[in-house]
Amino acid sequence: MIKNNKKRLGDLLVQSGKITIRQLQDALVRQRTLGKKLGELLIDENLVTEEDIINTIETQTGIKRIELDSIVIDKAAIKSLPQSICLKNDLIPIGFKDNRIQIVMSDPLNIFAIDDVAISTGFEVETFIAVKDEIRKAVYKYYSDEQVLKAAQELSKEREEEISESISSRDADFDDIRNAPVVKMVDYLIKNAVEARASDIHIEPFEKIIRIRYRIDGELQEVSKLSSDSLASLVTRIKILANLNIAEKRLPQDGRILIKQEKGDVDLRVSILPTVFGEKVVIRILSRDNYSIGMDMLGMNEYERNQFNNIIKSPHGIILVTGPTGSGKSTTLYSVLNELNTVDKNIVTVEDPVEYTLKGINQVNVNAKAGLTFASGLRSILRQDPDIVMIGEIRDVETAEIAIRAAITGHLVLSTLHTNDAPSTIMRLVDMGIQSYLVATSLSGVIAQRLVRKICPKCKEAHMATDYEKRLLGVPKDQQQVIYNGRGCVHCNNTGYSGRRGVYEIMEVTREHRNAMINFNDSQLLKDISIKNGMKTLGQSCGELVKRGETTIEELVKIAYIHE
């Protein structure tokens, strides 16, 4: 549609039967008092939904609905319109056609917003409609991308000595500091990463370039390249934010940044490592306010949930969550604590570091420099009359011995360990120097887990499994099996995946397990006992997800160590 569409939203909703004339008249009276947009007022009062409004406008006016996460937006269109106009009117430009600029709006009947776009760009306007939240998300994504590039260009033009001096000087003018290209660059990088659901930002120096990558859904993706001249000022700015020593460039440093964004507080853990070509920076992103915990968030099926509940109901003993770094162990532990957190329980944790604060739980940060280690912290915790103790990780025999002693004396102990599967956890503890009879007495259960990427729902496509794929899934050769993968699209950044979910191997320790542990010499025996008692291995659990179309064969091979 072209601009100056004079149809009014209220009339359209009445015509479509979504509201009555009386409801419209009452809403218009309240609108004059409250000063809200009519659509927002009707939604707030639960008279209509946003989908009702979009469907009505599309049906009654012919204005087409656009799914923003399924199209490629023209960057020339983004450059033609200021971000302020987009945010003010909840719209975003997506391209040009026949000398008109194409605009996606939450309210395409807003002729004043259409006039703003026409005056600002000098083009006639063709309007489309989309959900307000989708528009806002796209605005932040595409405009912050442009801002990163612009800041990088500005940064490369300035000498690093001038920038470093301006941002580190105690007497510098605040506005100059805030508007320095390096300051804007770091702000945009962090904002972009949060919007992209990244878990980490990697800033890596090489001979002539700086490579910037985000880790999204467990995989690193390159997002930008800068001139190597920018490295010193970029690292200096990050050090200042993290309260690190800007003069020290020869030793590793670790720090923390807490920033406030529109969607909530974001906790950044900064690690700086000297390399051949300069200091490499990795920033771990922890979105504190948006972090969801609870058993329902783990993605377990009903069978796994029942196994899990049987283990955590134990009044004492050790429950271990195992897997490699980044497999979601902390999320599982926090979910268990959240489930067990009642007013009659004294729960204390010792973590390195405390990733998320939980209400009603006493959390202790490891501080190696001050002598507060897992072992020393655990000793002190046991003098605090705890019912439940959580240790971030069992790293050494001393911590393991204290944890086992605590479990034997009536405490429920939760912790993590790095092992490949659940049964091999016992071998790991014995190898650390723990007597097998102590392990048998204290261990209540082991949950081995991995995270696998989910197939992008926007570009998901089916195909028949090959003989090799059937063998991996345990399907007979003469039986047909449909499996899925992601083709790759704008929504998933052409990866074919969007989001992750957990895969679990849950070993509940029974009397048969304990008898086998006392004369322990082979984890395969424990595995056989567990499978006989109903345990599904990581490979079997992931295989079921492949058959259900949630993930791919490639993810199965990755997490289950299956080879041809």
Q: Are 77 and 85 in contact (CB under 8 A)?
A: no
d(Cα 127, Cα 113) in Å, to the nearest integer? Answer: 11
Helix (H) or strand (E) run with residue 371 in it: none
d(Cα 417, Cα 413) in Å, to the nearest integer? Answer: 13
At a CB cut-off of 8 Å and minimum separation 6, what does 185 contact? 148, 151, 152, 155, 230, 234, 237
pLDDT for the residue 355:
77
3-state DSSP assignment of residue 400: helix
Beta-bridge partner residues of 97: 100
So where are the chain's domains?
A: 1-62, 178-287, 295-451+501-537
Helix (H) or strand (E) run with residue 322 in it: strand 317-322
Question: Tell me: the pLDDT tens digits for 355-411?
Answer: 778 888 999 988 877 888 888 888 888 899 999 999 988 988 988 999 998 999 899
Query: Would you tell me which CATH number, out of the four given (3.30.420.40, 3.10.290.10, 3.40.50.720, 3.40.50.300), belongs to the domain 295-451+501-537?
Result: 3.40.50.300
Per-position DSSP letters for 146-211, written without gaps between them: HHHHHHHHHHHHS-HHHHHHHHH-TTS-HHHHHHSHHHHHHHHHHHHHHHTTEEEEEEEE-SSEEE
Residue whose structure tokens are 């590793």: 252
Which architecture, in CATH terms, is 178-287? 2-Layer Sandwich (3.30)
Positions of the chain with pLDDT under 50 = 1-4, 159-161, 163-164, 166-177, 289-290, 563-564
Question: Tell me: the pLDDT tens digits for 329-353?
Answer: 888 998 889 889 999 999 999 988 7
Common-topology check for domains 178-287 and 295-451+501-537: no
> In this structure, what DSSP letter does residue 536 have?
P
Instruction: Please give the share of the chain, as a percent, with pLDDT higher than 70.
Output: 89
d(Cα 562, Cα 540) in Å, to the nearest integer? Answer: 11
Q: How far is CA 260 from CA 214, 244, 257, 263, 267, in A?
A: 20, 20, 10, 8, 9
pLDDT for the residue 147:
66
Q: Are 172 and 209 in contact (CB under 8 A)?
A: no
3-state secondary structure 413-463: EEEEECCCCCCHHHHHHHHCCCCHHHHHHHEEEEEEEEEEEEECCCCEEEE
Mean pLDDT, the chain, integer = 85
Read off the pTM.
0.71
Please give the angle made by the CA atoms of 557, 498 and 358, to the nearest 5 degrees.
100
Q: In what order do the strands lie in the sheet with 198-205?
A: 219-227, 209-216, 198-205, 278-287, 264-275, 253-261
Residue 67's Cα: distance from chain center in Å? 22
Helix (H) or strand (E) run with residue 103 in it: strand 100-105
Helix (H) or strand (E) run with residue 217 in it: none
